[in-house]
């Protein structure tokens, strides 16, 4: 095909695209995070998951309403699991890693086309590295000092860890001094029955570990547990709206 013929073909295709209306820009990562949190601000922490089971577990979680999935990097072959889950789930799901401890982890996440870097601590240099790589960053903090330092470094949300130490009264006191609208996610020992007091104190969502997923659990079992968390969240939302 000559250049002129190719030009006519491209022009015809472009014309059809124009007839269908203007093309929309892909949603930014920040917008996708906002949308995911509005739908269900619960982060599935899949510690110990294997790549061979990651797709089935991720699909079960997505079907139960989850849109935030984290594979801790002390799991077997975690980057293989992250890649498989990211390739499987639609773009409205955000997929990333937990237990991110060094800059090399960040670069590997970017290569996996991951969305999210979650840390147990608040290393400002690591937070900045995650932001330079184009990732959402949720570092772990336990004090207002750590929280403000993490925000100064560019954190998008904060993981309150461990939640067994950061009780609802402590969360309420921290919420009073932190920026309005900042998302706070208690992590550690959270169950459907313990979410309420944290939500009343100002939690924005939660990171869910062994109460949601344990290594070797079947996709059916994970879906059942996920639905319990989803129901607890929606019950809280209904109560607050009443």
19 is annotated as an active-site residue? no
Provide the 3-class DSSP secondary structure of residue 74: coil
Provide the 3-class DSSP secondary structure of residue 226: helix
Q: Residue 227's closest CA among 56, 48, 63?
A: 63
Q: Are 36 and 93 in contact (CB under 8 A)?
A: yes
159 is annotated as an active-site residue? yes
Distance between CA atoms of residues 66 and 58, nearest Å:
9
Distance between CA atoms of residues 178 and 4, nearest Å:
61
Match 């924005």 to its residue by tokens.
204
| Set 19, 50, 70, 164: catalytic member | 70
Distance between CA atoms of residues 195 and 230, nearest Å:
11
Q: Is the bond preceding 18 in cis, omega lying within 30 degrees of 0?
A: no
Distance between CA atoms of residues 40 and 60, nearest Å:
15
Distance between CA atoms of residues 199 and 183, nearest Å:
12
| Set 6, 19, 159, 224: catalytic member | 159
Q: Residue 98's closest CA among 34, 188, 28?
A: 188
The residues annotated with a catalytic role in the active site are 70, 159
């Amino acid at each position: 095909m000559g250049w002129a013929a190719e030009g006519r073909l491209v022009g015809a295709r472009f014309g059809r695209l124009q007839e269908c209306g203007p093309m929309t820009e892909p949603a930014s990562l920040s917008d996708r995070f906002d949308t995911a949190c509005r739908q269900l601000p619960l982060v599935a922490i899949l510690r110990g998951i294997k790549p061979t089971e990651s797709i089935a577990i991720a699909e079960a979680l997505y079907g139960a309403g989850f849109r935030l999935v984290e594979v801790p990097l002390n799991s077997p072959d975690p980057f293989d699991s992250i890649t498989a889950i990211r390739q499987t789930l639609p773009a409205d799901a955000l997929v990333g890693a937990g237990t991110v401890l060094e800059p090399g982890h960040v670069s590997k996440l970017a290569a996996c086309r991951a969305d999210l870097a979650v840390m147990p601590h608040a290393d400002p240099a690591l937070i900045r590295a995650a932001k330079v790589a184009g990732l959402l960053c949720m570092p772990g903090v336990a004090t207002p000092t750590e929280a403000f330092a993490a925000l100064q470094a560019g954190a998008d949300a904060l993981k309150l860890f461990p939640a067994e130490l950061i009780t609802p009264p402590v969360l309420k006191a921290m919420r009073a001094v932190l920026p309005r609208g900042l998302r706070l996610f208690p992590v550690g020992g959270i169950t459907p029955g313990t979410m309420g007091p944290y939500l009343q104190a100002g939690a924005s969502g939660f990171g869910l570990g062994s109460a949601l997923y344990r290594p070797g659990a079947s996709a059916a079992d994970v879906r059942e547990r996920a639905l319990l968390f989803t129901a607890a969240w929606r019950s809280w939302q209904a109560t607050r709206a009443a």
